Copies of this chain bind each other. A is one copy, B any other.
Amino acid sequence: MKKMKAIDVLDNKDLIWSETEKPRILDNEVLIKITATAVNRADVVQKNGFYPPPPGASNILGLECSGVIEEIGKNVKKRKIGENVCALLSGGGYAQYASCPEEQAVPVPEGISISEAASLPEVFATCWLNLFHEANMKEGDTVLLHAGASGIGTSAIQLCNLFNCKSFITAGTLEKISYCIKLGADNGSLRHERPFEDIKKWAPNGVDIILDPVGGEYFEDNLNVLSIEGRLLLIGLMGGTKSEINLGLVLMKRQRIIGSTIRARSPSVKGKVMNDLYEKVWPHFKSKKIRPIIHKTMNIEQANQAHEIMEKNQNIGKIVLKIS
């Protein structure tokens, strides 16, 4: 059995870089020699035991990576050995090697480095899946982005700009709000200071789309500021799982509440999203209309410190972990 290094989670939740088995690939998969991975909130949740990997996925943390294709399965058609790719993973990114179905790996965008590309798959795929596939976002839509300075928030702000939609963000500090507005958000509000009053002023007829990682704590306010035929995309539960619901509002305003996670989706759904990104979003990195938003690049051996930054909500955008 071939060996590699990967992050192991100790009982005390410490992350250590240690030896394990190198993954083997199936006929439809590629093996990526990883250049970098990036931290997602889901990694922190998984580390703490609350987000088990879906059946068949690696137990190793890490939902995305970038690197070089070292091996391809015999049914692989689009990817080639030696290609620089970034990939959406079901797990296994915090390691020297990861395998995934070929559809989940696409070429690194022109104009950015391989290492920077590690910051893209999870957040851009989540935003694309939700804003376009789930919520059918159209030019002119108004979009409310909670946690606007997060990896997902900063990607969503840029996608809204690119496709001529206006975004309002909430965030925990004035610094984060001003960063988001510079990045292209139309306006923003502090999450601890009645943001929903500001949102109502910003969009008196309601917002068309809400991308929400908060859940319970914001649920009723979200529905109150959602427009007729508005879509609430529930992508996380940082603010709890329980709420009341006024079904009268949902019915009369014809609202949609959509629970959405990308990790457990089929390779074909993930592949469709990655291909859309490759065709419709990646070209804009070269033209500098969008850019990877990276808070900090660290080494994989510093995974503990990287998680701490996210746990304390100190990051604006992504934390990249380089793997040598």
Question: A242 touching B244 by the CB < 8 A rule?
Answer: yes
Binary CB contact string for chain A from 186 to 225 against chain B (1 if under 8 A, 0 otherwise): 0000000000000000000000000000011001000000
Determine the distance from Cα of A255 to Cα of B141 in the docked complex, in whole angstroms.
23
Main DSSP-derived SS at the A contact region: mixed
Nearest neighbor of A240 in chain B, beta-carbon distance? B247
Q: Which residues of B contact A258 (CB under 8 A)?
A: 254, 256-257
Nearest-CB distance from A246 to chain B (Å)?
Answer: 6
Q: Which residues of B contact A248 (CB under 8 A)?
A: 237, 241
Nearest-CB distance from A133 to chain B (Å)?
Answer: 12
Q: Give the total of A residues in contact with B, Cβ under 8 Å.
A: 30
Nearest neighbor of A236 in chain B, beta-carbon distance? B251
Question: B254 touching A256 by the CB < 8 A rule?
Answer: no
Binary CB contact string for chain A from 237 to 267 against chain B (1 if under 8 A, 0 otherwise): 1001111111111111111111111001000
Q: Which residues of B contact A235 (CB under 8 A)?
A: 251
Which 9 pairs from chain A and chain B are nearest by CB? Answer: A250-B259, A241-B248, A257-B257, A251-B259, A245-B245, A215-B247, A241-B247, A255-B259, A254-B259
